[in-house]
């Protein structure tokens, strides 16, 4: 997580190096906000504008942690046997020919504003566990650093970057606005936090700003404000002490000991560059309230807040709308429960329904998702934001067609297991033609029947929509060539 001011330090005339580094402190590498701005501007690509390429100005990814059943929500199979079709009936929608599960009545009424893809599938390395599938979905790269069973490992600077971080680098937001913000909850599998969320080898300049406070309560905005007792002159005085910090000290604090001399020279040159223009831009962000204003949900009317729902997920969706309205380029709204939590009653439980799939979806998960997701789409449309905001709602995989049958995991009564082979996602706005059903699964919802797509195709589609060439190759910090996505191509038929 990056923040603007870090933790308050000693407010005296002599400033420690720790205080100096805390001005605009970032996670992992301790980079400052001015360095963030400098790196983002220096690395931004020139964006050609033609056709659907670059039609979107912003992206909201709604990540349904734990993964809902595609058959029960998006791809009903009324002609399948009872042990596959389940308890829910299909309902007609506002889009001719599109049917959804009966647990999504409000989204059904908004279906003329979004499309559904029913033929996405993947074969994760190792067992089809959450971690490897999350990493692939969030980064566009194979999870080579995962255990043989597909379990997560802690994030590191050796990871390949998340989609949001790539967007931050190649399509940064304008001055005084944020490029990549993550809200709702952290991505969590078991005890591992942040799978596929950070900038990895792109560096901390492109890590997300994280706001995981409960959005039903007033959000804490200390990181976007001057601390008590620090006025403009005092902060500028701190900034002017930057000559006290040596490049070697900064690199040592970044954990880069042992790097070769040529590579150290490259990094030192970056660390030694003067901050002048970039401190001024950081200062303008501190002085402006444009960034913090988006987080003030209390400025919304009670009617609007209730339309989104007074749940963690609902208010996080509202926060997502406010962020793109304020010029944020990439927002990830993550469902509150971690991916592999047991399904539990209440509005915030996981979608990982290994048991009791139907009561959990009918009584708890779907009413919250349907209410809030339909509000987000409707609100974006009414405000004229949907045409320039690409919205995607997806889990890391689907659920098994046969109820109560285990593929690799323990499945209880009425449960559906992990199923990465075929699932569905919602996509809207940003130039996507609404009301489509793209692709088809087989009669059991087990495998793609027509127009199969890979998660990397979805990621390529997001890049395409924002005007970032998915085939871009970039040098990493050690000058090795890297691709934005391992393979895949945009789903141009959606536009």
Q: Cα–chain-centroid distance for residue 32? A: 23
Q: Are 32 and 26 in contact (CB under 8 A)?
A: yes
Predicted model pTM = 0.83
In a domain, 273, yes or no: no
Write out pLDDT tens, residues 103-122.
999 999 999 999 999 999 99
Q: Which of 7-11, 84-88, 196-200 has the lowest mean pLDDT?
A: 7-11
Q: Cα–chain-centroid distance for residue 338? A: 14
Q: What value does the mean pLDDT of the chain take?
A: 83
Other C-beta atoms closer than 10 Å to the C-beta of 468 total: 22
Q: What's the rounded Cα separation, in Å, for the pair 308 and 333? A: 13
Q: Are 300 and 318 in contact (CB under 8 A)?
A: yes
| Among 493, 490, 492, CA closest to 140 | 490
- Across the range 296-304, mean pLDDT stands at 97
At 185, the pLDDT band (50, 70, 90 cuts) reads: very high
Q: Are 116 and 85 in contact (CB under 8 A)?
A: no
| Among 451, 453, 460, 343, CA closest to 69 | 343
Q: What's the rounded Cα separation, in Å, for the pair 426 and 442? A: 19
Q: What's the rounded Cα separation, in Å, for the pair 178 and 76? A: 39
| Among 392, 349, 363, CA closest to 66 | 349
Q: Are 369 and 220 in contact (CB under 8 A)?
A: no
Alpha helices in 429-489 (DSSP H): 455-466
At 229, the pLDDT band (50, 70, 90 cuts) reads: low
- Assign residue 300 the CATH number of its domain: 3.40.720.10
Q: What's the rounded Cα separation, in Å, for the pair 112 and 124? A: 33
Instruction: Look up residue 155 and give its two tokens.
Output: 């994030």
- Give the range of the structural domain holding residue 195, as residue numbers without chain letter: 55-228+293-494
Q: What's the rounded Cα separation, in Å, for the pair 243 and 38? A: 18
Beta partners for residue 334, in sequence order: 63
* Res. 327: pLDDT tops 80: yes
Q: Is 460 exposed, middle or buried (0-12, 13-18, 19+ CB in 10 A)?
A: buried
In a domain, 449, yes or no: yes
At 472, the pLDDT band (50, 70, 90 cuts) reads: very high
In a domain, 135, yes or no: yes
Write out pLDDT tens, residues 375-415.
999 999 999 999 999 999 999 999 999 998 766 667 888 99
In a domain, 38, yes or no: no
| Among 484, 423, 431, CA closest to 453 | 423
Percent of the chain with pLDDT strictly greater than 70: 75
* Res. 37: pLDDT tops 60: no
Query: How many domains does the chain contain in total?
Result: 1
Q: What's the rounded Cα separation, in Å, for the pair 285 and 279? A: 10
At 262, the pLDDT band (50, 70, 90 cuts) reads: low
In a domain, 237, yes or no: no
Contacts of 37 (CB under 8 A, 6+ apart): 278, 281, 282
In a domain, 351, yes or no: yes
State residue 157's pLDDT score. Answer: 87
SS3 244: helix
Q: Which of 11-15, 141-145, 183-187, 293-297 has the lowest mean pLDDT?
A: 11-15
DSSP for residue 53: B
Write out pLDDT tens, residues 119-150.
999 987 777 789 999 999 999 999 877 777 67
State residue 438's pLDDT score. Answer: 98
Residue in the structure block whose two tokens are 């009414």: 382
Other C-beta atoms closer than 10 Å to the C-beta of 383 total: 12
In a domain, 48, yes or no: no
Q: What's the rounded Cα separation, in Å, for the pair 12 and 338? A: 43
Tell me how long the chain is.
Answer: 495
Beta partners for residue 450, in sequence order: 440
Beta strand 398-399 with 90-92 is unpaired
In a domain, 400, yes or no: yes
What angle, 0 to 180 degrees and rounded to 10, lies between the N-to-C axes of helices 163-170 and 455-466?
A: 20
State residue 19's pLDDT score. Answer: 33
């Amino acid at each position: 997580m990056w923040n603007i001011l870090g933790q308050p330090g000693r407010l005296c005339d002599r400033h420690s190096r720790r205080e100096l580094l805390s001005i605009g402190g970032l996670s992992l590498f301790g980079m400052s906000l001015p360095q963030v701005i400098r790196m983002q501007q220096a690395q931004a690509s020139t964006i050609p504008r033609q056709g659907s390429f670059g039609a979107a100005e912003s992206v909201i990814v709604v990540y349904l942690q734990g993964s809902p059943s595609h058959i029960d929500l998006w791809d009903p199979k009324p002609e399948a046997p009872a042990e596959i079709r389940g308890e829910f009936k299909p309902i007609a929608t506002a889009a001719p020919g599109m049917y959804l599960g009966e647990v999504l009545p409000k989204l059904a009424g908004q279906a003329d504003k979004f499309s559904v893809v029913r033929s996405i599938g993947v074969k994760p390395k190792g067992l089809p566990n959450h971690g490897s599938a999350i990493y692939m979905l969030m980064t566009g790269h194979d999870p080579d650093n995962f255990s043989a069973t597909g379990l997560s490992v802690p994030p590191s600077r050796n990871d390949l970057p998340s989609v949001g971080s790539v967007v931050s680098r190649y399509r940064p937001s304008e001055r005084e606005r944020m490029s990549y913000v993550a809200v709702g909850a952290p991505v969590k599998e078991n005890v591992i936090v942040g799978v596929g969320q950070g900038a990895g080898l792109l560096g901390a300049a492109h890590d997300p700003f994280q706001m995981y406070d409960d959005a039903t309560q007033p959000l804490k905005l200390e990181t976007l404000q001057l601390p008590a007792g620090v006025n403009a002159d005092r902060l500028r005085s701190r900034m002017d002490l930057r000559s006290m910090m040596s490049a070697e000290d900064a690199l040592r604090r970044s954990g880069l000991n042992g790097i070769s001399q040529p590579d150290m020279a490259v990094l030192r040159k970056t660390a030694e560059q003067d901050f002048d223009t970039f401190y001024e831009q950081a200062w303008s962000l501190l002085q402006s309230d444009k960034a913090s204003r988006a987080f003030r949900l209390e400025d919304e009317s009670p009617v609007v807040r209730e339309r989104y729902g007074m749940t963690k997920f609902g208010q996080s969706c509202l926060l997502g709308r406010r962020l793109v309205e304020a010029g944020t380029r990439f927002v990830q709204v993550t469902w509150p429960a971690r991916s592999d939590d047991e399904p539990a009653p209440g509005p915030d439980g996981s979608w990982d329904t290994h048991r009791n799939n139907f009561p959990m979806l009918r009584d708890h998960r779907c009413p919250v998702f349907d209410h809030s997701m339909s509000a987000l789409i409707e609100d974006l449309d009414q405000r004229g934001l949907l045409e320039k905001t690409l919205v995607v709602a997806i889990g890391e995989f689907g659920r098994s067609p046969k109820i109560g049958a285990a593929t690799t995991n323990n499945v209880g009564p009425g449960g559906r297991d992990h199923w990465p082979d075929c699932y569905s996602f919602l996509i809207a706005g940003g130039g996507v033609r609404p009301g489509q059903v793209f692709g088809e699964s087989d009669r059991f919802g087990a495998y793609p029947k027509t127009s199969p797509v890979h998660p990397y195709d979805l990621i390529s589609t997001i890049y395409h929509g924002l005007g970032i060439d998915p085939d871009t190759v970039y040098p990493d910090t050690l000058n090795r060539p890297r691709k934005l996505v391992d393979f895949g191509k945009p789903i141009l038929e959606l536009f």
